Amino acid sequence: MDYEYLITKMEKYADQKGVPIMEKDGINFLTEFIKLNNVKKILEIGTAIGYSAINMALVDDGVTVTSIERDKDRYLQAIKNVKEFNLEDRITLLLCDALEVDIDDEFDLIFIDAAKSQYIKFFEKFSKNLAKKGFIVTDNIDFHGLTNSDKSVMSKNLRQLVTKLEKYINFLKDNEEFKTRFFKVGDGIAISVRKKSYNE
């Protein structure tokens, strides 16, 4: 099957419908990271149409992805896309609010790419599902360059969202348990690991 064609088809669909999938260099960075670190079991918060889940699953036959989406139309589109790639065996899609579901599995990597206003909550809730030496990856840290920029020109809603994202960045920087590196790639990506894992 021609994966390249299907990937491009998803990118076009997202573009036309205004679905905020990962930027190309962002997804390339993430899949390269998954390859280099031999990540196998992934939990994703924010499926949208399955673009990042599919790209991550295509890294290696041993990769499995569990992905959560609360929007029904996007979830249904994601199901369709996963089928087109024949990845139903390795991608599990859940239709629910990530803050209301209980997952008891453990994952090598947790990818946070959902409502930016809830990033701290996602991080706190799902870090219990992270393997000892696992990674928490967060997308849209730069928010098109809006974080740490002049907020006086922004609408109230936007300003509140940017403020929440800045709080998340500080939450990561000041975190006792996790150490985070920030990468200026795509829309800004953060990668967090437990500090303890360095000393073991």
CA gap 137, 182 in Å, rounded = 10
Q: Does 48 bind ligand SAH (CB under 6 A)?
A: yes
- Closest CB to ligand SAH belongs to which residue? 46
Residue 140 contact, options ligand SAH, Mg ion, none, Cβ 5-8 Å cut-off depending on partner type: Mg ion
Q: Which single residue is written with the structure tokens 């020109």?
A: 153
Query: Residue 60: is it exposed, middle or buried by C-beta count within 10 angstroms (0-12/13-18/19+)?
Result: middle
CB of 66 to ligand SAH, least distance (A): 12
Query: Residue 132: is it exposed, middle or buried by C-beta count within 10 angstroms (0-12/13-18/19+)?
Result: exposed
Residue closer to ligand SAH by CB (options 139, 194) is 139
Nearest Cα to 115, choosing from 80, 173, 155, 69?
Answer: 69
Q: Does 161 bind ligand SAH (CB under 6 A)?
A: no
Residue 105 and residue 129 in contact, taking contact as beta carbons nearer than 8 Å: yes
Q: Does 99 bind ligand SAH (CB under 6 A)?
A: yes
Residue closer to ligand SAH by CB (options 26, 194) is 26
Find all residues with CB under 8 Å of 153, minimum gap 6, and list them: none
Residue closer to ligand SAH by CB (options 108, 113) is 113
Can you name the residues that pair with 94 across neighbouring β-strands?
68
Q: Does 31 bind Mg ion (CB under 5 A)?
A: no
Rule CB under 5 A: choose which of 140, 161, 162, 190 binds Mg ion: 140
Stretch that binds ligand SAH, among 33-41, 92-100, 102-110, 174-182 (CB under 6 A): 92-100
Number of residues that bind ligand SAH (CB under 6 A): 19
CB of 112 to Mg ion, least distance (A): 9
Q: Which single residue is written with the structure tokens 């419908």?
A: 17
Would you tell me which residues interact with ligand SAH (CB under 6 A)? 20-22, 46, 48, 51-52, 68-71, 74, 97-99, 113-115, 118
